[in-house]
Structure formats: structure tokens, C-alpha cells
Structure 1
Amino acid sequence: MRVLLFICMFFSTSIFANNLNDLNYITESYPPFNYNENKELKGLSIDVLEAATKAVGEPVSRSKVKLQPWARGYDAALKGPKVALFATTRTEEREPKFKWVGPIIATKVVVFSNKNVTVSDPSELGKYKIGVVRDDVGEALLKKVGVPASAMKVSPGADLLIKQLAAGRIDMLAYEQSVATYLMKAANVDPSKFNVAYTLSEGQLYYSLSSDTPDEYVNKLQKGLDQISQSGELDKIKSQYQ
């Protein structure tokens, strides 16, 4: 009887053990880190997710990841349950809101100008109309340095803002430098026409997990990321996007 009980307990715990496929994965169009091409999700952070989860024996397919506008995905990650949002810039303001796995890769958030303007003091930014993506790190960083909301043109995505910058309808754009450059080229907008007026932050991109996510998932995903980092696979993935 005891043996039967033990067997039942073993199989019940095995069947219901936490698996990384239990998480709800959400990303946005943020190339070259994550984006949709020919109805398939691609990008550095997508490749890293597949490799890291495979390394711990719980492979998560890119087909499981939902592509959503950033503001919607960010709201879902704040509310849960068990949401993994990426790629997310880790900031002091965001730190207590999520559980973090990373880093994935370095990131730089800058303010592009279409008027060859260079800003030495962030207080000067309030004089310009600056495009930002709703709930994006660029918007948060501008608020942190005291730029008023009235100086910001808020949009659900960066594509429209890039067109407005090129047309002179906004003076500046606050966004991740590599992503903005990628989107400019995709929209046939010459990046050399703009200059970096101000650097808001230099940091790292992470997977941000909703605060309700059990630590077992967080630790497991971090373990997978650490393993591919130590094996050199992470650097190999990064090299494909340079």
C-alpha cells in the first residue's frame, strides 16, 4: 500500500511539475531583437529564448509567443498571471514591478533629432516635440529627467513616429538606438539624416516576468540563459545580428 501511494505521489508531482511552457510569452515588434517576418517571429531575443529553454530540457517554441503592441503587453505583464514579456529594458523604476531574467544584450536609449541639435542638459528637451511609444522606456526616461507630457507625442508604435520625424511633424524621437535605425531603414528613411541629440540611458535588455510568477520558473529560465552564455551559444546568436 505504501509503495502504491509513493508511486501515485511520484507521478502526480511529475505530471504537474512547473514547466516553462506554462508561461504566457509576449513580445512586440522591436527589431532586430524581436519582430514578425512572413508570419514568423524572429530576432535575437526569440532565438535566445528557444536556446535557453532547450538547454534546461523544456524547449519553448517561437510559435508560443504572442506579438502585441508594447503598451498592451506591458499591461499584461503588470497584471499576470505568469506572463513573460520581452525584450524589456531593466530600469530603476521598473525594477520592483517584475522578476528579471538576463541580461540578454546591451541597449542604448537615445533622442534622435531632425534638426542637427545636440542637447547638453536634459532640461532643454522640453523645448521640442518628442515622439515616444506609450509605456516604452523612452517615455519613462523623459519623464524621469523632467520633460513635461505636453512636449511628448505619444504613439502605440515607433513606425508612425519615424515617418513623422522624417516629415518634420515632430522634432525628436526617444527610442532604442539600434531598433530605431533598423526601422528607419525598413521604412526607406535614411538614418544619416538624423543625429543623436541626447543619450537617455545605457543598460541591458531582459525577460521581465510578472510578479506572481513562481521563482521556480524564473530560476529555471535564468539557468538556461546562463548555460548558453557559458557555452558560447549566446555570443554565437548575437553575432548573427551584428
Structure 2
Amino acid sequence: MFGRIVGIPLPSGKYHNLISPAIKAITAVLTLCLPVHIQAASAPANLELITEDFPPLQIQLNNQPKGYVVEFIQALVKEAAQQQPMVIKEVHFVPWRRAIKMSQDGPNKLFFSISRNQQRESKYHWIGPVSPYEVVVYKHKDGPTLVPTKLDQLKPYRVAVQAGGSLDTYFTEQDFTPVRVSYTRQTIKMLRANHIDYAPQVNSFLYRIEEFGYNPDDFIPVMKVDDLSKQLWLAASPETPLEVVHALQAAYIKLSEINLLDDLISIYTPNSPVMLEYRLQKRLKNQF
């Protein structure tokens, strides 16, 4: 349509020098306008992964993202890219409250590993579960003697939760007035110093106790919180294009059929080479 018109010679000499800039300008405009849909269709979506350090699901080791959830998502994106072009542009390890804010700001953000509940249901596109999740209430060996059988029995006591997380939401809904902390390290110190009595904790708690130089045997599990012991999910930010979401969901089904996630979970045991190195680096870091 816009090729050279046969039979009409292009101007030469001084006229060519005058007309050439106009031709170049028209060509530039056509280049910008005409192929835009083609370019948009073929350009890969640049995905940002947003998470918090949570061994052995997602960790940073030698400045590289590791963990069985991280490896699964890398495989997931690779599989989904066969249907819809996409690449992982960045991986952000940030505190949980910042992660929540980042995960809802803009398109192509993948947030993990997150509990799926009624409050969050409409805030994300849900790709699929990526990890088992268990919440257990701990106390220090020198703490209260009560070993509860029901959650309500803990209401007279000081119970600490991470501010802004799913535990905060749940315990508040159960009419607790929890002590809110920002980091797991605070919880460990407060339990040991008898500044709090109980603390619900998740899969990574024993790693954290060891990381900060304490003896895991001093912290006693007393009760599992069944309502919260569910799977953790991979979610996409609400502005993520549906074609990206659908490609990720389809890829998730494919990878589930070959049990890739189970295979990765079996690799990341506490005494696996990667987790032994992680544990050592964390202990050394916190000695200084």
C-alpha cells in the first residue's frame, strides 16, 4: 500500500535534497503508527516478582533468588511464554507490608507466597497454590504453662502477630487485640524476654530462631491453627493483562500435571546443600 509507485521517477539533484526530508518524515510517521499493534503483540510482558524472604520457599543466596517457589515460578513463566510472550525482569525481596503495596501498583506484578482469603479475593488475579502452609502457636519454654486446646483460651494472654499480614487479619477478626510487630526477630526476642506470651508462626520459624542465634529447642509449639493452615498462592496484580494471567494459569495446569512443584519441595530440605549454605550465611551475618 505504501510501497514505491512504479513509473514515477524519484526526484534527483537539488529537488531531491529538498523533498528527501519530507519523505523521511512521512516514513518515520508511518513506521511509528502502522506497526504499533504488531509490535505490541510481539513485545514480551516484563514481569516483576515481589516477595519476602521465607525459607525454604523463597530466599536470597549469593544475591540470587532461590527456593522451591522461585524455581517453580521461573519454570511457570518459561512455559507460559510459549503462549504469551513474557519474561522475568526483576525479583524484589522486600518487607511484607511494602510487598503488599507494590503488588497492587501497576501491571505485570507477581506476588508470592500469599494466603488467599475473602479480603484479598478481589485484589488480585489468582494463578495457583505454590506451597503448603502451616500456622502453629509457639511459646518460650519459660513462658506460660497453658497448653491451649482452643484459640479462645489465648485471649487473656499477650499474643504477637506480624502487622498487616494474614495472621493480623485473622486474630483481629477473632476478637484478639494482638501485639503487632514488624519482623520475626522481634517476636523471638519478645518471647524469650517474656514481653509476650504466645506467637503464631509459620513454616520458616525454626530457620529464623537458628538464624538469630537462639536454640530452637527453647521454643515450644503448643497449638496448630487449622483455619490458617492452608495453601499459599501465586497472585498477579489487578492491572495485569488478562492474556498474561490466562497464559500463566494454563501453564500452571501443565506443570501441575507433571508434579514439578512436589519435586522441587522434596529438593529444598533443611539439610539440602542450598539450604545448608543459606543457614550458614544467615548465622554468620548475624554474628556481626
TM-score (norm. length: structure 2) = 0.71
Question: Stretches of 4+ moved more than 6 A in 1?
Answer: none
- Which amino acid in 2 is paired with 1:145? Q
Equivalent-residue separation in structure 1 for 2:43 and 2:112 (angstroms): 19
- Identity fraction in percent: 24
Task: State whether structure 2 residue 204 is matched by structure 1 residue 179.
Answer: yes
* Other-structure match for 2:267: 240
Change (3 A) 1:10 1:234: farther
CA-to-aligned-CA distance 1:182-212 (integer Å, 9 cap, x gap):
2122223333331233415221111122222
Residue aligning to 1:140: 169
Alignment of 1:220-239 (within 5 A): 220-239=247-266
**Larger Rg: 1 or 2?**
2
Contact 2:127 2:234 in 1 (8 A): yes
Listed as ranges, the gaps of 5+ residues in structure 1 are none
Cross-structure match for 2:69: 45
Shift of 1:110: 2.4
Residue 214 of structure 1: how far off its partner (Å) = 2.2
Provide the C-alpha distance between the structure 2 equivalents of 1:18 and 1:45, rounded to a whole number of angstroms: 28
* C-alpha distance 19-111 of structure 1, shift in aligned 2 (>3 A): farther
In structure 2, which of residues 53, 60, 63 is the aligned counterpart of residue 36 of structure 1? 60
C-alpha distance 233-147 of structure 1, shift in aligned 2 (>3 A)? same
Structure 2 residue 187 is the aligned partner of structure 1 residue 161:
yes
SS in 2 for 1:239: helix
C-alpha contact (below 8 Å) 1:25/1:84 kept by paired residues: yes
1:210 equivalent to 2:237? Answer yes
How many angstroms does 1:135 deviate by?
1.3
Tell me the matched-pair count. Answer: 234
Residue 133 (structure 1) shift = 1.4
Shift of 1:140: 1.3
Describe the shift of the 1:12–1:109 C-alpha distance in structure 2 as closer, same or farther (beyond 3 A).
same
**1:84 has 2:110 as partner:** yes
Question: CA deviation digits over 1:70-128, x for unaligned, max 9?
Answer: 00111222343442211101122322222111111211122212235322332222222
State the Cα RMSD in Å.
2.7
| 1:59 shift after superposition | 6.5
How far residue 65 of structure 1 moved from its aligned partner, in angstroms, is 0.8
Which of 124, 127, 130 lines up with 1:98 in the alignment? Answer: 124
Counting only pairs closer than 5 Å after superposition, residues 45-64 of structure 1 correspond to structure 2 as 45-57=69-81, 60-61=87-88, 64=90
TM-score by length of 1: 0.84
The answer to which of 190-199 and 104-113 deviates more is 190-199
Between 1 and 2, higher relative CO (CA 8 Å, sep ≥ 6) is seen in 1
Deviates more, 1:89-98 or 1:191-200: 191-200
Higher strand proportion: 1
